[in-house]
Structure 1
C-alpha cells in the first residue's frame, strides 16, 4: 500500500456540498484490534451533512474524514483482531468516521461478514441506519409487544428501518409522519406502517394520532425534529409514554407558550440518545444484535433496505445535494470503482 490514498475532503474544512472534493490524504494505519478495509461502497447520512457544515461535534476517536458506514474487503489486520476475521474477507461495518475514502481503519469489533447474496451497495446502507433504529427501539424506548409507536420522518432511512423492526417487535400499531402525501403512501404500502400522517404545513397530525388511537395516544414516539414538534409530541403520547429524541432538525429552542404539563400529568419520559458518541463496547453489542437478529431477515426478504440512488463517489457533490433536498425515500449510496 502507498503512503497516501484518495478520500473526500472539504475545501476550507467546512462548507456547502459544492466544497466537497477528492483529495490525497495519509493512508490509515491499524491499531491492534483494527482491520484496514478497502472500501467498495459507503452510505450517506444526515450527520454527514451537519459535519460537512462544521456543526457536528466529533467524538475524540473520529477522523475528520466523513462517513460512518461502508462495505469492503479486509486488506490488513492489526496484531490482535477479533477472531473470525482474515485478510480477503468481505465485510461491512460501522465506524466513528473515515468511510468516504479508499481505505478505512476500523475495529474488527464493528465488522460484520458480508453475505454473498447481498450487494456492496446494500450492505453499505445498513450499519448506521439499522443500529440506530435497534438502539432507539429496544435499548432506549424499550418497546413492548402490544404497544403503539410513532416514527417521525417516516421516509428517512432510520425510520424505514424502525417501522419494520417495530412490526417484528409485535407493536400493535406502527404510525409515521412525513411531509408529503407520496412519502405517506410509500411508508404504508412499501414499508408497512399502519397509518402515516402528512405533517407539512398546518397539519394537525397529533389530533389524527389521537383519533386513530381512540383518544389514548401512542406509547412511544421516535423524534428527529425537536423543538417544532415538541408540544404536539406531548399531546400525542399516551400516559406513561416515552419520547426518544434522535435529532433536532426542527430547532433547539421550544416555542414560547409550550405547555409542559403533560410531562407531569401523563407521567411521560423524554430521553435523548446518540450513537456515534457511544463507546465501542456499547456499539459492539448493537453490532452483535444486528448480525444475529436482523441479518437473516435481510437474506429472507423480511426486512427491506430501499436504496434511492447509487452514485459513483466522484459525484459526491450531487449525492449530498440529493440527500439534503429531503426528497429521498431510501438510502443514498456512493460506490468506489
Structure 2
C-alpha cells in the first residue's frame, strides 16, 4: 500500500510517499480503506522526534485520525461490518491507504458527512469533550475561557461549550476573531493585543470563569489562575507555549477551592481511551446532523503525497480548524 514513510526525524521534508506492508488485522481490529486523515500537533511532535522513537505505539506509520470504509473485521469485532463508513482514532498508521483501528475506537460516520469532514471530528472533539465536559464538568450556565480557540481542539471546544449553554470566552489572534465568534464564542479576545486576564476580570466583574481550557502552558499559567472563579477548574491540554516550572500560591488553590487537571490522550490506557470515545459518542454523535448541528471545521485539504505541505500549514499556525490529508487514487501518486 501507499503510505508516508518516516525514515528519519526532521523537518517536513522527511515525509515521503512510498510503499509499506498492509497492516495485520488482529481480533479486535477493523481494516479500513482510508479516504481522509486528520493532521494533529502530535504528528509534528512525532515527526521531529519528540517522542524519542519512530513507532507511535501501534504502527511505524505516522498519523492518529482516520475516516474511511471497513474492508475487513477481526474475529472479536461487534457493531461494525464490511462496507460501513467509520471514523476514529488510531495508535499510528493514519497516513496510509489502509489502516487498522480497534473497533472500540471507531464511530460510524453520520450519513450527511463526507470523509473529509468526518476525519475532522474524532481527535479534536473527543479531546474537547473529555477536557471540558467530563473532567471540568462544564454545565449550562457556567462560563469558560478557551485558549487557542481557532485550532482544531479549540474550535471544537467552542462549539461544545456553546451547545452546552455556557458563556464562552475565547482567545485567538486578531484575524480569526470573527470566525471564532461564528463558532459560538460570546467574546473573542485578541491575545496579541489584549491581556486576557484583564478582559475576563472586566467582563465578569472580577468573578472570573468557572472553567479554563488551556493549550499554551507556562506563559499563561499565572493569568489562568487569576482568571478562575471560586471553585474554578483549569484543564491543561497542551503546552504549545512551553512547559517547565510554574509558580503558584498554594493559598489560592486552597482557599479558592481551585482544581488543576492535566489530560493527554496518548498516555491513557486502552480501556480509558475506549471510554473516552464512548462518552463522546453517546453525548454528541447525533448532534452532527440537522439545522443546528455541530460543525467539523476544515481549514484545508492536501493530497497524501503533499503531507509535508500539510505539516508546514500547521506549523504556520494560520489554520482555523483541521488540516486534512486525502487518499483518493489521484492523491497517492
Report the TM range for the smaller structure's normalisation: over 0.9
2:231 aligned with 1:235: no
Trace 1:159-238 onto structure 2 (pairs within 5 A): 159-171=154-166, 173-178=167-172, 180-188=173-181, 190-200=182-192, 203-238=194-229
Q: Deviations over 1:26-55 (max 9, x none)?
A: 211111111111111101111111111111
Tell me what 2:138 maps to: 143
Cα deviation, residue 271, structure 1? 1.2
SS in 2 for 1:142: coil
2:288 partner SS: helix
User: What runs of 5+ residues in structure 2 fail to find an aligned partner?
Assistant: 329-333
Deviations 1:250-306 (A, max 9, x none): 111246x76555323422111111112222322223323333332222111421112
Maintained 8 Å contact 1:6/1:25 = yes
TM-score, scaled to structure 2? 0.93
Give 1:96 shift.
1.6
CA RMSD of aligned residues (A): 1.8
Deviations 1:234-255 (A, max 9, x none): 1111111110001111111246
SS at the partner of 2:310? helix
**Pair 292,334 (structure 1): closer, same or farther in 2 beyond 3 Å:** same
TM-score after normalising by structure 1? 0.92
Say if 2:60 is the partner of 1:69.
no
Structure 2 matches for 1:16-35, cutoff 5 A?
A: 16-35=11-30
Separation in 2, partners of 1:40, 1:119: 10
Unaligned stretches of 5+ residues in structure 1: none
Deviations 1:72-124 (Å, cap 9, x if unpaired)? 11111111112x21112221111121111111111111111223321010001
- Summarize the alignment of residues 11-90 of structure 1 with structure 2, pairs less than 5 Å apart: 11-12=7-8, 14-56=9-51, 61-82=57-78, 84-90=79-85
Q: How many aligned residue pairs are there?
A: 326
Residue correspondence of structure 1 range 109-148 to structure 2 within 5 A? 109-148=104-143
Moved over 4 A (4+): 57-60, 257-261
